[in-house]
Structure 1
Amino acid sequence: MQGAGPCIVGSDMFLHAVQRAAEQARVVFILDEVMTSRLAPGGLQSLVMPLKPDLTTFGKYLGGGITFGAFGGRKEIMAVYDPRNGKGLAHSGTFNNNTLGMAAGYVGLSRIYTPEVIKAFNQVGNDLIAKLQAVSEGTKMTVTGRGSVIGIHFLHDGCKKLASIRDRHDDAALKELFWFEMMEAGFWLTRRGSIALILGTPQAELDRLVDCVKDFLTRHDRLVRL
């Protein structure tokens, strides 16, 4: 996913092509799941079978609000960092070995963000994406993302299926207007248009977001209509 896209999801075909290219070049295939590991119990890679990265990176929410970063992967690669053999590769870092972050992350995944909760939460996100796409039909607005990670775009051509940031032809002024008016309505989106749903958000509040977006599009019909 191109996080700064915002939230433009790589197609299964693209991800498999990258994996094959890495295998053919005999280089390490690394997936960055800092944003997308929240989308399924096994991360986004588990939804794109048979995707098997050599290494995967993690971070952010997994620390339960504490500064956090981690990576893991194939046994033979991770063995390079094993200090027990006396030849382990050093991996220094400002926030390494943060036991509070590890404890918070463990509790978060074992007691709060369980596999069942992950599936239900991301279905809520998929439903929200579908509703936003429906109300924006025929306008410059389009919605990208997957599950609980969502991107809002205002495009001159109104393209509904963005494959890459290179295909994005922004109406920057309209996007800025949307950001200000959503903030005025009580919804905090990033300025570039990304939304990371918060666990426990009432359905009524998500429905209110859809209504506010619909009102915005109606109010500025002259600007948003294709």
Structure 2
Amino acid sequence: MNHPGESRSVDRHDNAVATALESACAAFAAKRPVSQRLAAEASRVMPGGNTRTVLFHRPFPLRMVSGEGQVLTDADGLRYTDFLGEYSAGLFGHSHERVHRAVAEALATGLNLGAHHLDEIAFAEAVCRRFDLDLVRFTNSGTEANLMALGAARAHTGRSRILAFHGAYHGSVLSFAGGGTPVNAPYDIVLGEYNDVAGTEALLDRCGDELAAVVVEPLWGTGCVPGSAAFLSLLRRRASQHGTVLIFDEVMTSRLGPKGYSAWLGIQPDLKTFGKYVGGGMSFGAFGGVGAIMERFDPTRPGALPHAGTYNNNSLTMKVGLAALTEIFTPQACDDLNARGDRLRLHLDALFDRLGARLACTGQGSMIAIHPRRPAVRTPREAEQVDLRLRDILFLALVEEGFYLARRGYMALSLAITDADCEALAGALERAVLKHRDIFID
């Protein structure tokens, strides 16, 4: 039972949060009449004016009209430093000269050839070499890559059950926040708890021999929480023991090391999935790994697994992805970008410590998330327990300062982001926290 004084304190805090959010929404709307009008127009032809749920925020979403380098401009002419990086797909910024040139080269040689062509060979070689894959196949998105990897695992093992983890996101039909969504693909899913070594061990004791696959992000991308070495090593060991295919979803995390995050960790899964930046900012996905599984897709073999997709080897993505992976995001560029992200994350945490703010960062390298709680979250369950209104207040405060990141506090640094941009973000965060000291500072 709460003490009466504690209840009054909670009520005061709740009222302060509600007032701050209402004020932030009003200030946002007052400066953006064009975006507000466009939101209304969009609602006449799309449900809620939206065709990508994650981009929605209240009171209405920003409507961008252009991007250059690391700067976005909205329909009202307001400019923002882009720390979202298109949820890690926009690693190259908005106007990289080499990307533009590769697009022009693809246009000059013809789009959608409807046939095998030269660039897909070179790109496949580059992807296999970079990420230590025996064989690879291309898709159009990370969602498709994960679906195909799961299909391969089920065919290879002759089993149907899949172990995933609460809070995980492996694509629009493989989303397990809150335990799953009504539009998920109808797989036989067993949900474990991310980073729970003892609980996962017990779960595998019960059903390990029934599993076709274990699918996991080695760093939980939604909240940028690294999987512990003990947790990920357990999955590798027990998957081998049960003859289960271990799939690392590296759609986002492959940017965290020159050969991907799994190589950085020293843990080799059976299959890896990719997407986002690997295609140079174009629509892209891929899955690959050990030959014994991937060879099942060889169309020269009797009973080969089918894998269709009109745009799997589209000439635009193949050419741009090859240039981006081999000429722009080199191993050295990867190391430099992740070092910048590590410096930013540590700087922000030091700032929150100095201010006594109830905020903390999680992440690794160029992927960072700010959570409105301290200490930092360690699991998806903990992330779900924060007051979502606090995230909205911080998001809107940073938008007003001219910085764009995900509503949930997620950031993915692009190669266009500079140390000066990082310093400016830290200054904006300090001003935002001090402006709302009654809700962010003890």
- With the shorter chain as reference, the TM-score category is over 0.9
Question: For residue 163 of structure 1, what is the amino acid of its counterpart?
Answer: R
- Greater Rg by CA: 2
Which residue, 216, 223, 235 being the options, matches 1:18?
235
Question: What's 1:117 paired with?
Answer: 333
Which residue, 364, 378, 382 being the options, matches 1:146?
364
Question: What's 2:439 paired with?
Answer: 223
Tell me whether 1:37 sits opposite 2:221 in the alignment: no
- Secondary structure of the 1:84 match is coil
Does the CA-based 8 Å contact 2:433-2:440 persist in structure 1?
Answer: yes
Residues 15-68 of structure 1: CA deviation (Å, up to 9, x unaligned): 11111121122110000000000111111101212x110000000111112110
Q: For residues 31 and 99 of structure 1, what CA distance do their matches in structure 2 show? A: 27
Tell me whether 1:175 sits opposite 2:396 in the alignment: no
Question: For residue 185 of structure 1, what is the amino acid of its counterpart?
Answer: E
Residues 150-178 of structure 1: CA deviation (Å, up to 9, x unaligned): 111102xx123x22111233122221110
Which of 81-90 and 108-117 deviates more?
A: 81-90
Trace 1:35-184 onto structure 2 (pairs within 5 A). 35-49=252-266, 51-137=267-353, 138-155=356-373, 158-160=374-376, 162-168=377-383, 169-184=385-400
Tell me whether 1:202 sits opposite 2:415 in the alignment: no
Q: How many residue pairs align between the two structures? A: 221
By how many angstroms is 1:116 displaced?
A: 0.6
Question: For residue 21 of structure 1, what is the amino acid of its counterpart?
Answer: R
Q: For residues 99 and 10 of structure 1, what CA distance do their matches in structure 2 show? A: 36
Q: For residues 84 and 126 of structure 1, what CA distance do their matches in structure 2 show? A: 47
- Secondary structure of the 1:140 match is coil
Residues 91-149 of structure 1: CA deviation (Å, up to 9, x unaligned): 12353122221111110011100001000110000000000111111321110111111
By how many angstroms is 1:87 displaced?
A: 3.7
Q: For residues 62 and 88 of structure 1, what CA distance do their matches in structure 2 show? A: 27
Computed over aligned residues only, the root mean square deviation of the Cα atoms, in angstroms, reads 1.3
By how many angstroms is 1:88 displaced?
A: 2.4
Q: For residues 410 and 396 of structure 2, what CA distance do their matches in structure 1 show? A: 14
Q: For residues 54 and 35 of structure 1, what CA distance do their matches in structure 2 show? A: 18
Which residue, 28, 36, 56 being the options, matches 2:245?
28
Q: For residues 55 and 99 of structure 1, what CA distance do their matches in structure 2 show? A: 25
Question: What's 2:145 paired with?
Answer: none
By how many angstroms is 1:199 displaced?
A: 0.7
TM-score norm. by structure 2 comes to: 0.49
Q: For residues 111 and 152 of structure 1, what CA distance do their matches in structure 2 show? A: 32
Question: For residue 150 of structure 1, what is the amino acid of its counterpart?
Answer: I
Which of 122-131 and 162-171 deviates more?
A: 162-171
Question: For residue 154 of structure 1, what is the amino acid of its counterpart?
Answer: P
Q: For residues 165 and 126 of structure 1, what CA distance do their matches in structure 2 show? A: 21
Question: What's 2:404 paired with?
Answer: 188
Does the CA-based 8 Å contact 1:32-1:56 persist in structure 2?
Answer: yes
Does the CA-based 8 Å contact 2:221-2:253 persist in structure 1?
Answer: no
Q: For residues 413 and 264 of structure 2, what CA distance do their matches in structure 1 show? A: 19
Which of 196-205 and 66-75 deviates more?
A: 196-205
- Secondary structure of the 1:65 match is coil
By how many angstroms is 1:86 displaced?
A: 4.6
By how many angstroms is 1:182 displaced?
A: 0.5
Question: What percent identity do the matched residue pairs reach?
Answer: 38
Residues 175-209 of structure 1: CA deviation (Å, up to 9, x unaligned): 11100011111111111111011112121111100
TM-score norm. by structure 1 comes to: 0.93
